[in-house]
Chains A and B, each alone.
Chain A
């Protein structure tokens, strides 16, 4: 279960969401798209087109949707993916070709899309139906979504319940802007929400569904709107991967010379530790993303060269401050006390 904390205006997390789904189309997986904001048909029409040109692949690093590696195993993983899975351009490992590249300026052709089976859940169309499962005090929109997912998993045999089905496939589930007011949950608008446990219960049941079947899921959540931080802590414990996207739009970092090449930062808060005692932690913790005209890349954040003679003391201090924030570490391994980071 990949939990993605959305950036403030949702631009980049949407992009990530679409990349996940596009990869599913290219790999021939089934898709399930749920949203309360946009009709899933619209979302699916705007998937980026895959780049099938080899020269592009050689130039860039890997297209890293970490979730893809988990797809090819039978166990389900729920990854909370905060942010886009970073592509480490700084150290390309050309030997592994993992995933595909996408051209953001073009949308996916309808023919490619027809070959894939997809299901959608648009909240406002589903409101008329009554949930058949016990809602157990959960927000009814979440309950309906769970019921829908469970139904698809069961009917299409992703949970192995149909031994006749010869070819196993993977279901990619994408849920957009969970927890926002459009889903009927008030955790984003109030300090003391009415039902603080709806989202966490939903996640627990979703985790159970994912573990039981061949599916992977990405959820984006407007975490910056959630007032109650206790919810975020609980949610982090319930997910496999947690990634946060922080865009620079409108913040003071936009003009910070440290960040001039990038559009935002990628915070990896947690990575999955499944089926083993240890997890695979990469060397670098500081990742940033940028959106070029055709490509969305995530790279290792490196300081720009300090070439200017006239860099004032104030801006040097800013750089030092920003550098302090860089090495905050990854939750699955160890995060140091804040004031000791250096």
Chain B
């Protein structure tokens, strides 16, 4: 069998080769060959011995698949010479022989293997026969076992059912026992205070009892249970009401009560009532601290206590409530909100009262910290109690306090300003008493200015605390915008500058009557202060403010220029008033001196009257005073020896030109004419004209007022000859000393000329004094 199997290779090849020139066929064949070779242990080397070069399709290749003996022979015969043919023939014979022996060996070997395989199969046949017998035996045994087993099951079936039944009965009995024991257990639990356990038992038994309540025994149990449960509920409520055990335990009570099926709404109410009780206790404690009698704890401590006591309590209540009564839906939430709102209102009221007490105090940082705590604490319940609007109310309170603080600071600044003024007044009054040199006006001015500025800065710093980053309310829109622009900038700074101007102006108004109590130096100082504000301080302060409080608000603010204009106007009014007051002082002196003297019977003048010297002295003093605070100012061009020059003009040409005609018959006409012509060429003198901010202008104003008064007074009197001469002397004296103070000395000349002319008119016997004599007297005086 094996030989047959090996044979097909060579037998197959020659028959197939002629019609198999396709490409894949030989490969497939080759593969099969390879596999067979592999099977029979032929080495590749043997196969590899053949020449690899020749075409596998070559029919002349002895080892090729397409070998054609005829073609091969033809080829040999045609190609090879005889010796080679001979060689080929011998070679071929030899090869055939070798192949034959190989074939014989192969067949032999295959035969041997076939025989051994046949032996093996025979042996297996015997074994299987044995095994079949044993299998049969096993099958019978199994049948026997199955039979037995069925028999045992049938026997046990009965027992099993009974056991199952018994187990069921047992469970039922235990349940029943539980039920029967329930009342006593409940009682025990209640006695022991294990309310939770009790409620759990009750909860377990309730449904069953409900179901079987038609059975009298169960009914009894149920009744008992209900009684006990009622007692339990009562006790729970009792405990709940006593309230001493704190919010968590109360919450537990409520939970148990809810589990007992108590009506939730009622519990809600009761819960809130209890919470209210506790919170109100907190509030009353706070109120006690607030008490009518200080020392109350400082405001920080107060808000801390309020925060931890009341607000903390409120938070707990709110949290517990929301947890317990979540099922209540929006209505429960509303109730809670109303509750929180009401209590929050009370709390806010207390806080406000406390803060109101703080209004007078000076420590802003403490207040701000307190407010911060207060506000921060209330932000916690914020999300919980959004509906109650507590956060908004808190913010409002903080805002209100901030506003009041601003008002307080404004007041403080005003007080400080008034205080400065009082100091200045005292300083101005002091030197005369002490008899020594007090601080100069410039020093006073500097001290006032710096003191006000430092007060402003202090206030700004204090107020600035409200907007500090770490403060919880500083990012509220009010503090970002309105507080900065309207509150601080407009309310505090602009308000203060305005009020300062007003205070200063009030000196002008009130002091106008009867001299007033305001020292002129104060007027001068205030005027300079306002002017300084106009030039520098206002813009400095406002820039400072704008920098510190980055104003984001778009609402319109007072521009610097408006304020400056106001300050300038104030300064101008003050200075004008100063001029009026000082002019009035000198005027009064001059008026008294003219009014009280008997000019008709006066003696020939020997001296300048003392009052004129006094006038010059006072004017010099004023000049010095004004010079301390104001710049010199511009004068009209003047010669270095102005007094001399004008004197000559005054006394010789002008004066004589004027008096000469009085000896002629047509005197009155000429005098009038002359004075009128002179007036035609001179400008109208505005006596109380507004002044400029410089020394010369101020002095000019004062001198104008004084001389005009002198003129009017002279016109009301009648002079004798010597009276006229006295006026002449006096006027010349004034001429000598006053020109240096004024902007335009021509003005002094004009006015004094007019005084002398008027005196001449008011004299029935006008004989003027010799100019040289006048000069001598004045120089001597």
Q: Do A and B come from one complex?
A: no
Instruction: Mark B residues whose CB is within 8 Å of A.
Output: none
A: residues with CB less than 8 A from B are none
